[in-house]
Amino acid sequence: MVVEGAENPTPTDRLDDEFDVVLRVSAPAHPDAVTVALDRLRPRVLLLKHSLESIDTRTVAVCRQLGVEILVLARPVYGLLHPPRLRRFGGLPWIRLRSGPQHATGEGLKRCFDLLLVAAGSVLVLPLILAITLVLSCTGAPFYRQRRIGAAGRVFHVVKFRTMRFGAERDTGPVLARPDDERITRIGGLLRRSRLDELPQLWNVLRGDMSLVGPRPERPEFIAEFSRMPHYDMRHLIRPGLTGIAQLTGGYAATVEDKLRCDLLYLNCRSLRVDLTLLALTVLELLRGFPRG
């Protein structure tokens, strides 16, 4: 069964050559029409040409109940990661939807992987943190703590180098960071462009609040608004990360929708190999100075 996408036109597929396609539904179709068709036809596979963030939760729930495998049409950025579940049918790339929390074994391996890399990199990172701390101490407190939402909706305090002037949100309240933010100091701008302001979050990784790779943790003040977006809460199924797809592809200029799309992509293709790929790309971007801002 195939649900055609509506956001962007997709190339003509040859799915009929490889599957016994029992039904094609053109989006936007009412979710009830899709779920009724699933219950009536009981297909083995549902092929969705939607983007990940636009998939209806009821469709996913019915597929889980009926044991229907869900494949989502891969977008160009997917090839950047070489996800292990990327398949090719009908001349198009697809990725298997995996939207549940990480298995305990996989979570344990990822945690060991994080601790091992942090320990191995401490020889280079600690002197850099010390040097930046000394420079920032000349103008005030070098660090600041901020509440963020982590796995399972748990609140924790993220640690960062201070890049904004004191009292930056005294008059405005919480405001999302943006390119050319006037609240950022001159030294803070350098730290943000190089992403060195994130280094103290390695402490959050050691504590288990965060992982090296994952969705960026968001502030509670914004979660209430963002949670109205379909599937936004799925970001909290796993630990948030120091780096990830959204940081590498969009930077501070990325919209909330763009970030969610990247987070859902990572959620559905995460593996140690993907983490290594993203960390390697992060190191490359650090050397290039994060040209995307």
User: What tokens appear for 152 in the block?
Assistant: 């399972």
Residue ranges of the domains in the chain?
Answer: 2-96, 104-288
Of 33-47, 89-103, 214-228, the range with the lowest mean pLDDT is 89-103
Q: Is pLDDT above 70 for 8?
A: no
pLDDT at 290: 61
Copy the structure tokens of residue 109. 């391996």
- CA-based nearest residue to 239, from 107, 58, 46, 146: 107
Coil, strand or helix at 262: helix
Amino acid at 125: V
For residue 36, what pLDDT is reported? 83
Compare 53 and 119 and report the one with higher pLDDT.
Answer: 119
What pLDDT is stored for residue 202 in this prediction? 95
Q: How confident is the model at residue 30 (pLDDT cuts 50, 70, 90)?
A: low
**Span of 31-35, 77-81, 286-290 with lowest mean pLDDT:** 77-81
pLDDT higher than threshold 60 for residue 286: yes
Evaluate if residue 224 carries a pLDDT over 90: no
Express each pLDDT in 235-276 by its tens digit. Answer: 888 899 999 888 887 766 678 888 887 887 788 778 888 899
- 37-62 pLDDT per residue, tens: 888 888 888 888 776 666 666 777 78
Q: How confident is the model at residue 133 (pLDDT cuts 50, 70, 90)?
A: very high
The CA distance from 9 to 24, in Å, is 15
Is the pLDDT confidence value at 98 over 90? no
Q: Which of 52-61, 113-122, 185-194, 222-231 has the lowest mean pLDDT?
A: 52-61
Q: 138: how many CB neighbours lie within 10 A of its CB?
A: 8
CA distance 251 to 282: 12
| pTM above threshold 0.75 | no
* Predicted local distance difference test score (pLDDT) of residue 245: 86
Q: Compute the distance between CA of residue 119 and CA of residue 280 in angstroms, rounded to an integer.
A: 17
Query: Is residue 197 scored above 60 in pLDDT?
Result: yes
Spatial separation of the C-alpha atoms in residues 142 and 159, rounded to whole Å: 10
Place of tokens 């930056």: 168
